[in-house]
Amino acid sequence: MNNGFDQEQPVALKEWAVAVKALTEGKQIIVLRKGGIAEETRDFQLKAPRFYLMPAYEHQRPELLKEPYRDDVRELMASWQPNAATVEINAVAEAVDDIEILDQDTLRLLDEYHIWTDTFADERLKWKKTKPLHLLLLRVSKLERPVLLPMQDHFNGCKSWVDLGHTFEGVKAQPVLSDKEFEAQVEQIRSKIVR
């Protein structure tokens, strides 16, 4: 992905801004997804194997994060402008795996690999009980320069995916972790939960 990111119909995964920050800083390689309230399919589906990361600010609260990340969310929320005319995209990701989590014991094995509190992770698992929690292992690359898109109505709402309707031609991206670092983390996570 370091040669750029071309896609005919580019999409973005909406994720908390604090999680996007952790992903782009190499502090974690996972996201936990159940699907947004406004999801068309009522549950999470991996819409594309490669996608941009769109920071979302709604619902972020410091108490839902482990202590080292609480100041990050406070700073992000302080700089957020709810009526901004643009949205900044600064990262692209490739989902290298989509693992379904069905129980709390398995979820607990992932604790050291994410920024969320146990309580928040448990709530994500329990919401829509009959649906699995999706653990996405993401190979994240940072764009060489942020791209500002005009804010559009369909970017709003509690949903996982948004169609960007815009290609980022010529914008290159660099992986935030080396191949060796990334593969080591993937192996650690898989060895804990994949039987």
Torsional class of 157: left (φ above 0), alpha (ψ -120 to 50), beta (otherwise): left
Question: What angle, 0 to 180 degrees and rounded to 10, lies between the N-to-C axes of helices 70-79 and 17-24?
Answer: 120
Query: How is the chain split into domains, by residue range?
Result: 11-189
162: tokens are 């948004």
Whether 142 has a pLDDT exceeding 80, the answer reads yes
pLDDT in tens, 1-39: 444 444 555 898 999 889 999 999 999 999 988 865 444
pLDDT in tens, 61-80: 778 888 888 878 778 767 76
Give the predicted TM-score (pTM) of the model: 0.85
Distance between CA atoms of 30 and 95, rounded to whole angstroms?
9
CATH superfamily ID and name for 11-189: Hypothetical protein. (2.30.130.30)
